[in-house]
Structure 1
């Protein structure tokens, strides 16, 4: 009986490690885009990858606004590469384009950049909110 109990506890402990949240998960405030707008993106698992959905949009003065992009995946197909680095896709609402993304996280800051057809764009630095 003691062996079964120890095996059960060991299984629970290893499951806790397997389900640990990725550091990228949470809420991120985007940098301002070409229109001065920013957003709040909720990053969470989507299958074996990470996705980030736009949950709030803000005007240049920081006031919440309506946006046709609310509910849209801004980050998709994103996977960790180690040392706070991620690759995947990022959608730019102000340009209406999806870029191959490179994300670099350092503490509560996320440097976002992406390229499409050899044209690269700096998406600025996002700040972790929660």
Structure 2
């Protein structure tokens, strides 16, 4: 019997810097997240994933880009791989939900950064 999943992460979340709306949704038995919309002025043709370390992916649109995949429940949240198109880094994400706030801790090796997003209707 599987343990009860942590607090619901599904929904739409505004990033702490106000630059994007991220949609979190189930992907089979795991969770995923995509850039639903950018809230910043974009260049003609849309913002591209130009900092991606894989040169073949630098022409992708950031809007619609999957940035979390294979997130699995942990005792107090979700954990799995993530990607930041802002700086082109892949990292391990630790996600926790408390009320209408979502805390994302992203770690590359021993270096971590934590941000808090807000649930939107």
Q: CA deviation at 1:72?
A: 0.9
Between the aligned partners of 2:91 and 2:27, the Cα distance in structure 1 is 19
Between the aligned partners of 1:75 and 1:30, the Cα distance in structure 2 is 14
Residue of structure 1 in register with 2:85 after alignment: 93
Give 1 or 2: higher helix fraction. Answer: 1
Query: Higher relative contact order by CA 8 Å / sep ≥ 6: 1 or 2?
Result: 2
Q: CA deviation at 1:43?
A: 1.0
Instruction: Note the 1:29-44 alignment, pairs <5 A.
Output: 29-32=14-17, 38-44=19-25
Q: CA deviation at 1:67?
A: 2.4
Q: Gapped runs of 5+ residues in structure 1?
A: 1-21
| 1:3-31: CA deviation from partner (whole Å, max 9, x where unpaired) | xxxxxxxxxxxxxxxxxxx7111111112
- Taking structure 2 as the reference length, the TM-score comes to 0.72
Query: How many equivalent pairs are there?
Result: 99
Moved over 3 A (4+): none
Residue of structure 2 in register with 1:108 after alignment: 100
Residue of structure 2 in register with 1:70 after alignment: 63
Between the aligned partners of 2:113 and 2:81, the Cα distance in structure 1 is 13
Instruction: Give RMSD over aligned pairs.
Output: 1.8
Q: Which has the larger radius of gyration?
A: 1
- Taking structure 1 as the reference length, the TM-score comes to 0.68
Q: CA deviation at 1:118?
A: 2.4
Instruction: Note the 1:1-130 alignment, pairs <5 A.
Output: 23-32=8-17, 38-59=19-40, 65=42, 66-68=46-48, 69-83=62-76, 85-122=77-114, 124-130=115-121
